[in-house]
Chain A
Amino acid sequence: MPVDTGSPLARGRRRGFVAATDQTRPIVSLRGVGKVFASGVRALDRFDLAVPEGEFVSLLGPSGCGKSTALRIIAGLSEASEGAVAWAGGAGAGPGHIGFVFQEPTLMPWADVAANVRLPLKLADADPAHASEAVARALARVGLAEFAGAFPRELSGGMKMRASIARALVTEPELLLMDEPFAALDEITRFKLNNDLLSVWQELRRTVIFVTHSVFESVYLSQRIVVMTPRPGRVFAEISVPVPYPRDEGFRTSADYAALCRQVSQALDAAMGEAAAR
């Protein structure tokens, strides 16, 4: 589904969705979500987010702005102190419903790549024959088909992350949550994985919520960028990236890209400034 390709770059703050996804109802929405940790630190404050089905949205903010906390609340790994998380159809997050990619590859070192990717299906008691097929498909999708029998320590950082993504995809989840997955990788590997992630996303058209602190990465990948203020995390601005997919190196070096990056950078600076002024 192409986004509105004809419109000029969206300027300034906007709330709401990119035009083309307006009709689809949100797969998940957070309303007035707050999170206060036991230490008294407030990570999130009246955080609102609605993610339409099939959208690629990025949460952008400095370290410690509560982006990861928001993601963990959506995943059901953390409990919101205030507010509500609502799901399409009213169903809560169940196994197979959500895929999660952590900042570290988080693979089991004692199991080979195939066994690691298979884990979600094993925990769901999936039919073994069906599971083997799904594992092979997920590995092929991230380009690791030949490394099914390798152990995590035998893989490079980028390949470990691919295995981690394959594991998240193996249940074909409706929602993919990614918590700064490429932050620890070198730039060359990171660009490659950005491209591969986009092609997987275009193929599957699942919803992705992508947490990052990189302006460039967020603009390159997403349809919509949610800029957050540092501690406590709130939505400061929403910026749409109305550039059609497939995006490639041509987009990465285009003037549009540079302009969007500048716009997002300014929004991020303003978000930091607002926090400093408080």
Chain B
Amino acid sequence: MLAMNKDRALRIALPILVLALVLLAWDLVVRAFAIPPYVLPGPGAVFGALIGDRALLWDSLLVTLAITFEGFLLATVGGVLLAVAFNQWRVVEYSLYPYAVILQVTPVVAIAPLLLIYLPQHLAVLACAWIVAFFPVLANTTLGLNSVDHNLLALFELYKASRWRILWHLKLPAALPQMLAGLRIAGGLSLIGAVVAEIAAGSAGAGSGLAYRIAESGYRLNIPRMFAALLLLSLAGVAIFFALSALSHVVLRRWHESAVTRER
């Protein structure tokens, strides 16, 4: 018990110690070489920008989070529905799977400018978030739906269950762990997709998300604000990851090995 507590304390204390040391070194270097803030601001200046520009940055954060959330939601619905369609109708899988892969392997940075020509900016950014996020949901859910225990499948057949009941009562619950793993990846990716599209759109003018703030601050040599916006983006990514991990844990905690803590 004591050993476990100590282990946990170390897990929390050590990363904080590392962070403190890095910040200290950063600050010392900036001071010792008298580096101007438009080249490399010290941690104090970044923190100052975070506080000073908080209204602006907060609004931008909300814009980016909204886009990320919408993209994630669309990716989840689209990915799961497409996976179900693949699983139920082989014709659909054969027809569409190659294009899902092509959409996935084409770098979103390269697609974004094109989308910005044809779509209103908001939709273009959303489309980018969706494109990068939906594939892991699709791939993982498909894997889950296809790896149902064949004896359980035989049991359902024995009791003459319709294919939709097999889907609802057997395949979807069985695919849940993989689906949730897909969602965890998709959460981070939709943030990346949104940021990439915003950066691409930034040069085109309008926009107020965090990525746009980074681009804009870059043009103005407002480096502390660049760092502050970047920091917020990282924190948003971490928060998304933890939220989805928590969701996965809550859903699976009673039955799946990945969520069960065992005493040894």
Q: Which residues of A contact B (CB under 8 A)?
A: 72, 75-77, 94-96, 98, 100, 102, 104, 106, 108-111, 119-120, 122-124, 151-153
- Cβ–Cβ < 8 Å partners of A102 in chain B: 151, 154-155
A95 touches B159 (CB 8 A): yes
Q: Which of B155, B157, B255 contacts A152 (CB 8 A)?
A: B255
CB distance from A133 to the nearest CB of B (A): 19
Main secondary structure of the interface of A (DSSP, over half): loop
- Asked if B53 lies at the interface with its beta carbon under 8 angstroms from chain A, I say no
- Asked if B156 lies at the interface with its beta carbon under 8 angstroms from chain A, I say yes
A108 touches B173 (CB 8 A): yes
- Top 8 closest A-B pairs, CB basis? A106-B151, A123-B159, A102-B151, A109-B255, A95-B159, A110-B173, A95-B160, A110-B255
- Asked if B236 lies at the interface with its beta carbon under 8 angstroms from chain A, I say no
- 5 further interface pairs, Cβ-Cβ under 8 Å (given A100-B158, A110-B173, A153-B255): A77-B154, A95-B160, A119-B155, A151-B254, A153-B260
Given A95-B159, A98-B158, A152-B255: A123 in contact with B149 (beta carbons within 8 A): no
Question: Looking at A98, A110, A122, which has the most chain B CB atoms within 10 Å of its CB?
Answer: A110
- Asked if B85 lies at the interface with its beta carbon under 8 angstroms from chain A, I say no
CB distance from A175 to the nearest CB of B (A): 12
B158 touches A75 (CB 8 A): yes
B255 touches A76 (CB 8 A): no
Which residue from chain B places its CB closest to the CB of A72 in the assembled complex? B154
Q: Which residues of B contact A (CB under 8 A)?
A: 149, 151-152, 154-161, 165, 169-170, 173-174, 176, 254-257, 260
Given A151-B254, A152-B255, A153-B255: A108 in contact with B159 (beta carbons within 8 A): no
Report the bound CA distance from A109 to B155 in whole Å.
15
A106 touches B158 (CB 8 A): no
Given A106-B151, A110-B176: A120 in contact with B257 (beta carbons within 8 A): no
Which residue from chain A places its CB closest to the CB of B160 in the assembled complex? A95
Report the bound CA distance from A110 to B149 in whole Å.
13
Report the bound CA distance from A100 to B158 in whole Å.
8
